[in-house]
Structure 1
Amino acid sequence: MIFLCVPITLLTLNIFAGYIWLCHRYRYFKRHNISYLPASTPFGNLKELILLRISFGELFANIYAHPSIVGANVVGFFLFHTPALVIREPKIIRLILIKHFKSFLNRYEAADDFNDELGSLTLPLAKYSKWRESRQSMSQLFTTGRIKHVMYPRMLGVVAELENYLERQLGKQDSKVIKLSEMCTLFTTDMTGSLFYGLEANGLLVGKCELREQTRRLLVPNFRKLLHFMIIFFLPQYTRLIRAKLFSKEYTHFMRDLVGTALKLCRDTKDANCKPNLIDQLLQLQRSKPPTHYVQHPDFITSQASIILLAGFETSSSLLGFALYEVAKQPQLQIHLRNELHNAFATRSSLDYSTLITLPFLNMICLEALRLYPIAAFINRELTPGDSDTKYSLQPYADFVVPKGMPAYISILGLQRDTKYWPNPLCFNPERFAPENIKNIVPMTYLPFGAGPHGCIGSRLGILQLKLGLAHILKRNRVEVCEHTIESIHFSPKAFMLEAKDNIFLRIFKDEKVKL
């Protein structure tokens, strides 16, 4: 028995010592006289998230809006045992994202570049030295000229198929109840396949496609995926120990095959008009760089193709569904929008690029959808100072010095639903973005795509896709709520981006005539 007592005693002492250390750790912000949310052992302030009771976006929005810290410019909280900040003051946000960007070069989350090269090469997870070169290279793919002349014609082909899909759904019926997620994910997957991989995914045509199925499988949560995700985003110092990976083996295998096939086609074909897609452009970048450059890594193209598929599929489909839901709930607003579209289309089957981007009310609808439903609901930065500087003072806005390595989070969902900046924030009101009202928006309180050098590289393309989807769905149809429509949107705790917890059903009507 005595042999058992010794290890049991040592284990008990270690647990007790760990508990005492955590208790001391959780008093960090109290010692620094900073407003903070009390933490619980051992999850810190992540318990509700880990138990799948709230989404990632809601976690940071709840911290931002917690009643106990009203008026505080910064709020302390804990990622397990790690002290972190939620920044509430727009002027501090501007310093971190733009003015003092060089002090906050990296995002906090990270992938292990030894066990997960594919994840560590992606633009969102790459650290600054790699990120800078990758960003400069990738930016060439999203210029206004390339979007207008190369991507837009392909996008028109997909929205034409979207119209055909709706006609087939309705058939000879005057109306039909549809599940928005089904239509929207098929649309955005077809769009992503066409723009970035040169593929005719044909999801809208046949009702399913392999691209969509692969992304769906990757996003289905299980214990292993959740563990790896939590490590990458909240405990990145342990990624190598746990061997956490951003992508599953199945998804990685699929993307490597897809990219390999596309690269072979790029190399074999001599017709440049057959290959204006992401993979071809990344191949051209590799050919233009010396062998020592980061973009020459064998997995560079696959990594960017893998993350862009997820970004295009997940964010755009949810946002289009949210926008249609809000338009359906306000008939007069929908009439206004459809009048504008009716006049724009006139006798044309499609809109040229310049016309689409200058439709004022459609633009207001999209901006308000991005305010109420910012798909990337939070962003963060990690203090990454130079050799001689290991701290960053928040004076005069807060009496706190940020130490090296501390993550600072910005709740975009919290900011864009804050009554201080947005009257009646839960009301969908496009007039907030009317030309005469835009000047009243407080700077750095509207950040659906982030801001500064780390801002979303595909923001213009994302808005363009949303506008095209809305325009061609409502061109000859109207949407209304029905007996199956949910009363309000609740977010799925199983999704990283903002996604509706429940299916959204609307009734769609054939209606080519609009009240003028």
Structure 2
Amino acid sequence: MVVFWTTFLSLLAIAYYLLYKYMTRNFSYWKDRNIFYFKPLPFFGNLLPMITMKTTMGELIMDLYRQTDKDYFGIFSLDRPVLVVKSPKLAKDILLKDFASFHDRIIVTPDTDPAMSNLMFFKKGQMWKVIRSKMTPVFTSGKLKAMFSVMVDESNDLSKYLSKFVGAPSIEAKEVCAKYSTNLIALTAFGVKAKCFDNEDADFRKLGRRIFGTSLTNAVRQLGCNFFPGLIKTFGIEFVDTVAREQMKSIFSTVLKARKQSDHHKSNDLVDILLDARAHTESGISDDMILGQAIQFFMAGFESVASTISFTLYALSMDEEIQERLRLEILENIEENNGLTYEGVNSMKYLNMVISEALRKYPVLPFLDRECTSTYKVEGTDLVLEKGQAIYISAFGMHYDEKYFPDPDKFDPERFSDKNEINKEGFYYTPFGEGPRICIGNRYGLLAVKVGIASILSKYKIRKSLKTPEKIKFDPKSFLIQSYGGVPIKIEAL
């Protein structure tokens, strides 16, 4: 028995030593290149606070950002060297000027599910370009204008739904806004009524909760795909769990099949455009690619719109003066145009300023990731980035940097009174990303947000409830910006 335990412990010690050496093999990477870096921990790199759920990744990167005045610095994601960019000029070079060397994201998903692996968000290289070009017609000004009446109808339903809660001690703004955004996405993209206001357990809404709910299993999946791509590929862990994937594929496959069989399917929505692209054999668009883009549009659309509206409502509940000024602009615009109109909504300058400031404080993605796709020398330095080099751009860090936004914790829409001054010297305001890989649906999302907020403020006052936090705490179980404990507010009729 003594021999057994001696042998076992010896083998265990050897295994630990070998694993330790393997996981620390790259830890001299930044030192060898004379780049300032933060000392990593074996097995965790610099990500221990995120892995242990003590903070979000966006806040972790921002905390490191604030500890150095360098234009860039090194960290380690487990054992992988990552360059974190602070310089707006370098961010602009990476995202726009030299995009050809940085066109891929780090995030991965296994190839085990053909539909999910074909989401544009995950695609790399030439296939990303093909899919992007086929998706672009969905978001032209003409298409957005055609969708506008649907947005107004859904915003009216949102207002009617809110009437149930007038005088209630508190409501969960994020959940209410998610019902609106889910209904909107289902109609404008697929021509399907989700009926989230009619049924608290509507299929589309349950699906949305399952995908982006802040559960531990979701945290493992989604944080893993973003920060531990090697482990994700090795163990075949999908971004979305099996039940949600199969539900999405079932719903959207049914829609696609019905539209293909219909002689009158021309609705000029996402489905029609993708089917038209598929009809051209030279396009390289497969059925799995079509299904993947339908899934992506649903996932990205409902969450970003709901998040932005709810955080904007929270900010307005904390500042009645800003809220009243915005309400006055909205009511005057509605009276002048005899209702909400496409041109009228887009002409509301203060509404745009308020939403821009909400996106500064609460961007959906708190950092941007890129992978170097060819050897690249950083202009004005001796730094040469090798192919495969991982890069993070700290949107949170720049959005809360006093150099660009004085008194950054204050909600101040006046920062955006002249949008031409923003990003003039480089990219330091990037709520949707920038460059060729900017969020393809950003104009759709902004329009949906504007319509939703205008409809709400034209009929209700937004107030703090007893549950409304003085400062939003972000949930560490999400790679997106989500409020820990939701966004509780109170509403009153005008």
Q: TM-score range by the shorter chain?
A: over 0.9
Identity of aligned residues (%): 29
Asked if structure 1 preserves the Cα contact closer than 8 Å seen for 2:189 and 2:269, the reply is: yes
Match of 1:377 among 354, 357, 366: 366
Q: 1:415, 1:49 → 2: CA distance? A: 20
Q: Which amino acid aligns with 1:112?
A: P
Q: 1:501, 1:230 → 2: CA distance? A: 17
Q: Which amino acid aligns with 1:366?
A: I
Q: 2:281, 2:338 → 1: CA distance? A: 42
Q: CA deviation at 1:229?
A: 3.3
Asked if structure 2 preserves the Cα contact closer than 8 Å seen for 1:314 and 1:497, the reply is: no
User: Please, what is the CA RMSD of the aligned residues?
Assistant: 2.2
Q: Determine whether 1:295 maps to 2:294.
A: no
Asked if structure 1 preserves the Cα contact closer than 8 Å seen for 2:195 and 2:202, the reply is: yes
Match of 1:392 in 2: 376
Q: 1:161, 1:510 → 2: CA distance? A: 16
Q: 1:442, 1:502 → 2: CA distance? A: 37
1:397-412 equivalences under 5 Å are 398-412=381-395
Deviation track 1:118-156 (CA, whole Å, cap 9, x = no partner) reads 23210111111210100000111111111112x112111
Match of 1:493 in 2: 476
Asked if structure 2 preserves the Cα contact closer than 8 Å seen for 1:198 and 1:276, the reply is: no
1:77-476 equivalences under 5 Å are 77-113=75-111, 115-149=112-146, 151-170=147-166, 177-220=170-213, 225-272=218-265, 275-290=267-282, 293-296=283-286, 298-346=287-335, 350-385=339-374, 391-396=375-380, 398-435=381-418, 438=421, 442-476=425-459
User: Mind listing any 5+ residue stretches in structure 2 that lack a counterpart?
Assistant: none
Deviation track 1:286-343 (CA, whole Å, cap 9, x = no partner) reads 11243xx4412x3112211222222112221111111111112111111111111111
Residue 423 to residue 192, structure 1, CA distance change in 2 (3 Å): same
Asked if structure 1 preserves the Cα contact closer than 8 Å seen for 2:337 and 2:344, the reply is: no
| Greater Cα shift, 191-200 or 356-365 | 191-200
Q: 1:179, 1:14 → 2: CA distance? A: 50
Q: CA deviation at 1:233?
A: 2.1
Match of 1:388 in 2: none
Q: Which amino acid aligns with 2:319?
A: Q
Q: Secondary structure at the match of 1:77?
A: strand
Q: CA deviation at 1:369?
A: 0.9
Q: CA deviation at 1:26?
A: 2.0
Q: 1:395, 1:490 → 2: CA distance? A: 38
Q: Which amino acid aligns with 2:88?
A: P
Q: What is the count of residue pairs matched by the alignment?
A: 493
Deviation track 1:150-180 (CA, whole Å, cap 9, x = no partner) reads x11211111111121122333xx5x763221
Q: Secondary structure at the match of 2:76?
A: strand
Asked if structure 1 preserves the Cα contact closer than 8 Å seen for 2:95 and 2:434, the reply is: yes
Q: CA deviation at 1:439?
A: 5.9
Residue 249 to residue 428, structure 1, CA distance change in 2 (3 Å): same
Q: Which amino acid aligns with 1:417?
A: Y
Q: CA deviation at 1:60?
A: 2.3
Asked if structure 1 preserves the Cα contact closer than 8 Å seen for 2:334 and 2:340, the reply is: yes
Q: Secondary structure at the match of 1:85?
A: strand
The TM-score, its normalising length taken from structure 2, stands at 0.94
Asked if structure 1 preserves the Cα contact closer than 8 Å seen for 2:214 and 2:475, the reply is: no
Q: CA deviation at 1:276?
A: 3.6
Q: CA deviation at 1:7?
A: 5.9
Residue 393 to residue 440, structure 1, CA distance change in 2 (3 Å): closer
Q: 1:205, 1:26 → 2: CA distance? A: 55
Match of 1:44 in 2: 45
Q: 2:235, 2:6 → 1: CA distance? A: 31
Residue 225 to residue 477, structure 1, CA distance change in 2 (3 Å): closer
Q: CA deviation at 1:463?
A: 0.8
Residue 376 to residue 289, structure 1, CA distance change in 2 (3 Å): farther
Asked if structure 2 preserves the Cα contact closer than 8 Å seen for 1:116 and 1:244, the reply is: no
Asked if structure 2 preserves the Cα contact closer than 8 Å seen for 1:107 and 1:125, the reply is: yes
Q: 1:24, 1:244 → 2: CA distance? A: 25
Q: Which amino acid aligns with 1:499?
A: Q
Deviation track 1:85-143 (CA, whole Å, cap 9, x = no partner) reads 11001111111111111111211122232x23223210111111210100000111111
Q: Secondary structure at the match of 2:456?
A: helix
Q: 1:178, 1:505 → 2: CA distance? A: 5
Deviation track 1:26-73 (CA, whole Å, cap 9, x = no partner) reads 2322232211111112111111111122123223222322x2x2x101
Q: 1:339, 1:407 → 2: CA distance? A: 47
Q: 1:479, 1:247 → 2: CA distance? A: 34
Deviation track 1:238-271 (CA, whole Å, cap 9, x = no partner) reads 4442112122211121112112221232123333
Deviation track 1:431-455 (CA, whole Å, cap 9, x = no partner) reads 1111388368643111111111111
The TM-score, its normalising length taken from structure 1, stands at 0.90
